[in-house]
Structure 1
């Protein structure tokens, strides 16, 4: 995997981190920690997206970045916060993952 795609993967992983930080901020006594985590992850995500877009086309990079973030946040919501699962929700996130994989294979 080239540097641009590695940067995009990191950007997507940090994209998962900021909703986690915002969720953590809702816990009593964790406001500062949660907001700090969210802001750090936003900045890191943006930096790695910037690095990736130097090589990867903007539309592809953005779609992959948001796809990783959406699917990852969805998974963390289910695993850590007890978010609901249903076949339609799982199928929806499966389509997101399939779209991201298609964009990667097409570039």
Structure 2
């Protein structure tokens, strides 16, 4: 169940990052409220995951999945560039996440 909590926390983390962009510096009400809800959801589910998972595994995975999701959705939804350097960096992050997952058992 902890891994499901962690995956949910990561989804909230991606939504939080997008919400910050859409809020335009917290000047738009609904995106700002969305951002607040998603940050609480992300930290809440991460906290539930940490009841079982080691912080040395869960927190880096949470941030990495959040980063990868933000890069992908920044490209898909916001029209941000997806350069070769970004792709190589994303692959490196995925390798690190896989290593952390394997090390956790």
- TM-score after normalising by structure 2: 0.92
Cα separation, 1, equivalents of 2:16 and 2:90 = 19
Q: Matches of residues 5-16 of structure 1 in structure 2 within 5 Å? A: 5-16=3-14
Are 2:64 and 1:77 equivalent residues in the alignment? no
Gapped runs of 5+ residues in structure 1? none
Q: Distance in 2 between matches of 1:94 and 1:36?
A: 33
Residues 48-91 of structure 1, C-alpha deviations (whole Å, 9 max, x = no match): 10000011001111000000100000101111111111111100
1:94 is the counterpart of 2:91: yes
Give the SS at the match of 1:26: coil
Task: Tell me, in whole angstroms, the C-alpha distance in 1 between the residues paired with 2:29 and 2:11.
Answer: 21
* Whole-angstrom CA distance in 2 between matches of 1:10 and 1:98: 20
**For residue 59 of structure 2, what is the aligned residue in structure 1?**
62
Residue 26 of structure 1: how far off its partner (Å): 2.0
SS of residue in 2 equivalent to 1:74: helix
C-alpha RMSD of matched pairs (Å):
1.4
| Structure 1 ranges of 4+ moved more than 3 A | none
In 1, the alpha carbon distance for the partners of 2:93 and 2:35 equals 23
- Count of aligned pairs between the two proteins: 103
**Structure 1 residue 19: deviation in Å?**
1.3
Q: Residues of 2 paired with 1:103 and 1:26: CA distance?
A: 35
Unaligned runs of at least 5 residues, structure 2: none
CA distance in 1, matches of 2:85, 2:19: 27
